[in-house]
Amino acid sequence: MAKEIKNDTSTEEKILAAAKQVFMEKGIDGARMQDIADKAGINKALLHYYFRSKDKLFEMIFMEAARQFLPKVTSIMSSELPLYEKVEKFVNEYIDTLLQNPTLPIFILNEINRNPKDAIKKIFGNQRPPIDKVEEHIAKLVKKGEIKPVKGYELMINMVSLCIFPFLARPMVQWITKTNDEEFLQLMELRKKSVVRFVIDSIKK
Amino acid sequence: MAKEIKNDTSTEEKILAAAKQVFMEKGIDGARMQDIADKAGINKALLHYYFRSKDKLFEMIFMEAARQFLPKVTSIMSSELPLYEKVEKFVNEYIDTLLQNPTLPIFILNEINRNPKDAIKKIFGNQRPPIDKVEEHIAKLVKKGEIKPVKGYELMINMVSLCIFPFLARPMVQWITKTNDEEFLQLMELRKKSVVRFVIDSIKK
DNA sequence: TTTGTGTTTAACCAAATGGTTAAACTTTGT
DNA sequence: ACAAAGTTTAACCATTTGGTTAAACACAAA
């Protein structure tokens, strides 16, 4: 009866991986439990044996996704690095995360729009990201005359926009730039530098 | 038997308006024909009398939305205006469109991801937007040393990102900026200038 | 008045879908 | 060898949902 080391590595993870794929691709409404079972290589009965309902399963997947969405970025922003380095690290980290999870943004945003309150709570906990810290930091540099006056939250929104949007509109971007899947990822890799430059050029005096 | 002036203004438009609302809010999979009928103040039978199927109805709505998504922006970009004015007009037009259709972006992006080929065809027809024109324009100014070297498509993507993303992530933005619905729209109104400045500051020498 | 179109009502259908159940088989740890 | 948990099979259920049908009604034009 002792609860030995549960060897979860197999079925449960297969289910989660399959569910992630299907939910990300089709959204919660478009996803079919049968598809998830198939993709996991098991049957519906077992699927419900592990996760009682579709909602429960979706919840799990979303929680996992929510954690990734707000990456280590928070610590970067509240760090003591010089602003430009903050920007650079932020953008690099963010785009890296997205390169490893290209479909994360649309998945998250859909849930945010479907169920704003809960989704936001799951992403941010209950504390706002530390933009106050950024705000102060920027205010100082503005006073010193080193950068143009910008609002902290605006800078944040702009950076996030520039990082995430291309992944959201990926098919459009690929069509416009005539790139295939591989080339798109390379493009985003290059984009790191380009965005950093774009942002810094925009605020520096 | 003569086809007099069909007074479409009533039922058909009511349906389209209702369908637009429901589809935008719930997506095609989450939308219920019954809900659309209810919201239009009619019954399911009549709904199917006007639009044979859910898919057909969705198609209509998407076509209408697709046209708005690529606004008069195209003509602006291929115009002979000075670059900075182009940027200004582009951003203003775009954000204005979005202020009048705040849920358009997520709706469009979902369809693009669900059905990239068709969706893109419906949005752009078969011609790419005139970024070549922008490309030339920029190349000239770069050569003259008036602006920093930027790629045309990158400038475009950046501008579009900065305009659209806040609407995509609206609940998040509102939560971070502690704004209610009205204040959010004001914020976006202000954002026009802010984005224009951000972009221009970034490319000017 | 007639006729056709718009509209409602209400019952109905078939398919899809989330979820359940029970019985049998397999695996694994004790 | 035994028991418990994992897994399959397959039938089954209730509900939802897109869509249909037919009969009756309203109304405007011919």
Q: In this predicted model, what pLDDT tens digit does every residue of A109-167 receive, in sequence order? A: 999 999 999 999 999 987 788 788 888 899 999 999 999 999 999 999 999 999 999 99
Chain D positions with a protein C-beta closer than 7 Å: 6-11, 17-22, 29-30
The per-residue pLDDT for A72 is 75
Q: Please name the member of A124, A162, A169 whose beta carbon is closest to the beta carbon of B109.
A: A169
- CATH 3.10.20.740 is right for the domain spanning B9-52: no
Average pLDDT, chain B: 91
User: Angle at which helices A181-203 and B181-203 pack, to 10 degrees?
Assistant: 90
**Which residue out of B73, B122, B157, B174 would a mutagenesis test of the A interface target, given it has the greatest number of A Cβ atoms within 10 Å?**
B157
Question: Can you name the residues that pair with B204 across neighbouring β-strands?
Answer: B147
B162 contacts A162? CB cut-off 8 A = yes
* Total number of residues shown for chain A: 205
> Which residue in chain B has the smallest CA separation from A124?
B172
The answer, for A161 touching chain B at a CB cutoff of 8 Å, is yes
B15 CB contacts (<8 Å, ≥6 apart)? B36, B40, B42, B47, B50, B51, B57
The vertex-B87 CA angle with B85 and B89, nearest 5°, equals 65
Q: In this predicted model, what pLDDT tens digit does every residue of B120-179 receive, in sequence order? A: 999 998 778 878 888 889 999 999 999 999 999 999 999 999 999 999 999 999 999 999
The answer to whether the beta carbons of residues B94 and B71 sit under 8 Å apart is yes
pTM of the model as a whole? 0.92
Instruction: Report the amino acid identity of residue B178.
Output: K
Scan for tokens 């609002």, then name that residue.
Answer: A151
Query: Residue B53 CB closer than 7 angstroms to strand D?
Result: yes
The answer to whether the beta carbons of residues B196 and B107 sit under 8 Å apart is no
DSSP letter (8 states) at residue B171: H
Task: Quote the minimal CA–CA distance from A100 to chain B in Å.
Answer: 18
Nearest to B90, CA basis, from B31, B155, B144: B155
For residue A137, report the phi and psi dihedrals to the nearest 5 degrees.
-50, -50
CATH class of residue range A61-203: mainly alpha
The answer, for A84 touching chain B at a CB cutoff of 8 Å, is no
Question: What DSSP string describes B113-156?
Answer: HHSHHHHHHHHHTTSPPSHHHHHHHHHHHHHTTSB----HHHHH
Chain C positions with a protein C-beta closer than 7 Å: 6-11, 17-22, 29-30
Taking the domains of chain B in order of start, what are their residue ranges? 9-52, 61-203
Query: Residue A53 CB closer than 7 angstroms to strand C?
Result: yes
User: Angle at which helices B131-143 and B152-168 pack, to 10 degrees?
Assistant: 120
| Average of per-residue pLDDT across B192-196 | 98
SS3 B195: helix
A158 contacts B112? CB cut-off 8 A = no
Question: Can you name the residues that pair with A109 across neighbouring β-strands?
Answer: none
Q: Please name the member of B112, B158, B172 whose beta carbon is closest to the beta carbon of A172.
A: B112
